[in-house]
């Protein structure tokens, strides 16, 4: 297994280089996308596959078979995808290559419970036009609403599509894999049920549970930065760290996904998956080897070390918020309860701040604050490590502001980079300490535009590297911890309202230390 964290995308500024010749390292395959009419396919998956092709990371004999309910021809589907690629792909200066790309695209209309549809997919995959050039390799992608996951998985099992390649005797043996989109369940019981369903049909190594935050270059860098820099790696513990703040602020609202969001809320939409990924990568022990199973083992240990939250601890552990009418970037926006498909008295949180504790030798006593919010003043994802002060502040005696909290700020997005905050003597006669920042910016340091998260993850699934995907026990342990937060919180943590375009409800500072500015 190759280390997934060694980027296959290193290179010069992509906007300035010519398309790379097609890869012979990535295997040919058919990618069957269930949910081919959906937003995810149009905004993320197909643009990412196009970008992979431009970067030479897609085998020329790749086939993409879109499956969805709406009747349409291959040609109509290709036309729709052309528009998506034009709008959402990174490599828009190589749109001339779309004519090459569209030759790989096919469409199959069916409802996800229709047996004839699965028979037709089987016939297609086994046909000479698909089987020979792709050497029988298949990757299914579940990009549908979650309610279709189980019916599709069961049908893939019943129609022999999960084992379409078994016992062919070929070398290398063709692979069959499946990518399952988030949300993977909506609580522990449903995640277990889904895992059981998936694992009845596929073996665990065939299953890729996606969390696109793991595909972000800056998220992968959390581990690389910690484990390659002794000056920081040696301070990464409760002897030196006072608190850890992980925040994902979004300026967008629910973006036409009101029906889904009302069911999910920010805890299921962002915290259980994206924020927990950021937390486990920040907190995990160095793995015994830099490969999928060792890294996932360490992440699971963090989840298992989370101090369980008792129901009566909830008021001290979580603050929930919901946005009201306001303005974001000078544009008026409506309140959550006025968004389409949201009931007028909805109790769903669009903001949370939670305090969690990791009970192990490294982190005991260090609070981790997790904050996620929609319709905040700006889009900003940060991991902020606040270091402990000296036990005695010498300069305070001189009547100065004293010490400056030392902070390491990992900017995940946007303005990707890392900053270190410290104090210096302000030039001049009097003894004053000024806070200053040492700043690293990816944009300034590298001309190359980093690949999109979905490019990285699709590529990893194609080459069979599961490091950046969640294992079943990871998902189950995170839902297990979340259980007390998923019940009715109206009394224990009443909803606090905040104006859209601000930084969340004032009450958030009731949970432990205020968020650093």
Footprint of ligand BG6 (CB under 6 A): 250, 252, 269
- Please say which residue, 55 or 250, places its beta carbon nearer to ligand BG6: 250
Does residue 498 sit in helix, strand or coil? strand
Choose among 35, 53, 13, 42: nearest CA to 462.
53
d(C-alpha 152, C-alpha 94), whole Å: 35
Ordered alpha helix ranges (H), 353-441: none
Q: For the CB of residue 260, give the shortest distance to ligand BG6 in the complex, in Å.
A: 8
CA angle 293, 279, 311 (to 5 degrees): 110
Choose among 78, 449, 387: nearest CA to 242.
387
Q: For the CB of residue 276, give the shortest distance to ligand BG6 in the complex, in Å.
A: 12
Q: For the CB of residue 501, give the shortest distance to ligand BG6 in the complex, in Å.
A: 16
Q: For the CB of residue 264, give the shortest distance to ligand BG6 in the complex, in Å.
A: 8
Q: In angstroms, how far is CA 82 from the centroid of its own chain? A: 26
CB 9 within 8 A of CB 451: yes
Ordered alpha helix ranges (H), 321-471: 442-445, 453-463
CB 104 within 8 A of CB 63: yes
Within 210-347, strands assigned E span 241-249, 318-324, 326-328, 331-333
- Please say which residue, 210 or 284, places its beta carbon nearer to ligand BG6: 210
Cα–Cα distances (Å) from 244 to 247, 267, 473, in that order, read 10, 19, 25
Q: For the CB of residue 313, give the shortest distance to ligand BG6 in the complex, in Å.
A: 27
The catalytic residue among 42, 212, 245, 274 is 274
Q: In angstroms, how far is CA 145 from the centroid of its own chain? A: 17
Q: Is 212 a catalytic residue?
A: no
Cα–Cα distances (Å) from 324 to 161, 166, 265, 490, in that order, read 47, 55, 15, 18
- Please say which residue, 249 or 496, places its beta carbon nearer to ligand BG6: 249
Q: For the CB of residue 252, give the shortest distance to ligand BG6 in the complex, in Å.
A: 6
Choose among 489, 513, 494, 490: nearest CA to 505.
494
Write out the catalytic residue numbers: 274
């Amino acid at each position: 297994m190759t280390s997934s964290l060694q980027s296959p995308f290193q290179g010069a500024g992509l906007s300035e280089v010519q398309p790379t010749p097609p890869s012979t390292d990535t295997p040919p395959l058919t990618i069957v996308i269930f949910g081919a009419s959906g937003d995810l396919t149009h905004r993320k998956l197909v643009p990412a596959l196009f970008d992979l092709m431009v970067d030479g990371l897609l085998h020329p004999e790749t086939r993409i078979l879109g499956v969805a309910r709406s009747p349409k021809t291959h040609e109509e589907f290709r036309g729709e995808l052309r528009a998506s690629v034009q709008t959402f792909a990174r490599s828009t200066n190589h749109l001339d290559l779309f004519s090459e790309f569209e030759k790989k695209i096919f469409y199959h209309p069916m409802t996800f419970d229709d047996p004839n549809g699965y028979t037709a997919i089987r016939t297609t995959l086994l046909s000479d036009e698909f089987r020979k050039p792709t050497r029988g390799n298949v990757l299914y992608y579940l990009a549908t609403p979650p309610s279709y996951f189980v019916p599709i998985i069961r049908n893939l099992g019943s129609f022999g599509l999960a084992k379409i390649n078994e016992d062919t005797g070929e070398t290398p043996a063709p692979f069959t894999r499946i990518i399952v989109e988030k949300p993977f369940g909506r609580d522990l019981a449903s995640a277990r049920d889904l895992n059981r369903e998936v694992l009845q049909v596929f073996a665990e190594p065939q299953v890729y549970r996606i969390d696109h935050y793991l595909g972000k270059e800056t998220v992968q860098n959390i581990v690389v930065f910690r484990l390659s820099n002794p000056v920081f790696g040696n301070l990464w513990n409760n002897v030196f760290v006072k608190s850890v703040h992980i925040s994902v602020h979004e300026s967008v609202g629910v973006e036409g996904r009101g029906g889904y969001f009302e069911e999910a809320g920010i805890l299921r939409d962002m915290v259980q998956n994206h924020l927990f990924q950021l937390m486990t990568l920040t907190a995990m022990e160095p793995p015994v080897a830099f490969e999928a199973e060792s890294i996932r083992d360490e992440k699971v240990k963090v989840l298992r070390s989370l101090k369980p939250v008792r129901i009566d601890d909830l008021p001290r552990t979580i603050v929930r918020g919901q946005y009201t009418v306001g303005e974001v970037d000078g544009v008026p926006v409506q309140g959550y309860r006025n968004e389409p498909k949201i009931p007028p008295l909805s109790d769903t949180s669009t903001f949370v701040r939670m305090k969690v504790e990791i009970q192990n030798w490294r982190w005991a006593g260090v609070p981790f604050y997790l904050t996620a919010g929609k319709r905040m003043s700006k889009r900003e994802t940060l991991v902020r490590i606040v270091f402990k002060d000296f036990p005695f502040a010498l300069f305070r005696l001189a009547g100065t502001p004293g010490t400056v909290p030392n902070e390491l700020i990992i900017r995940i997005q946007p303005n990707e980079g890392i900053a270190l905050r410290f104090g210096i003597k302000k030039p001049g006669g009097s003894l004053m300490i000024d806070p200053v920042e040492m700043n690293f910016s990816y944009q300034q340091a590298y001309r190359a535009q980093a690949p999109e998260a979905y490019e990285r993850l699709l590529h990893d699934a194609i080459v069979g590297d599961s490091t950046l995907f969640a294992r079943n026990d990871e998902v189950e342990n995170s839902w297990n911890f979340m259980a007390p937060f998923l019940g009715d919180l109206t009394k224990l943590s009443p909803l606090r309202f905040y104006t859209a375009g601000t930084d969340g409800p004032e009450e958030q500072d009731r949970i432990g230390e205020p968020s650093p500015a």
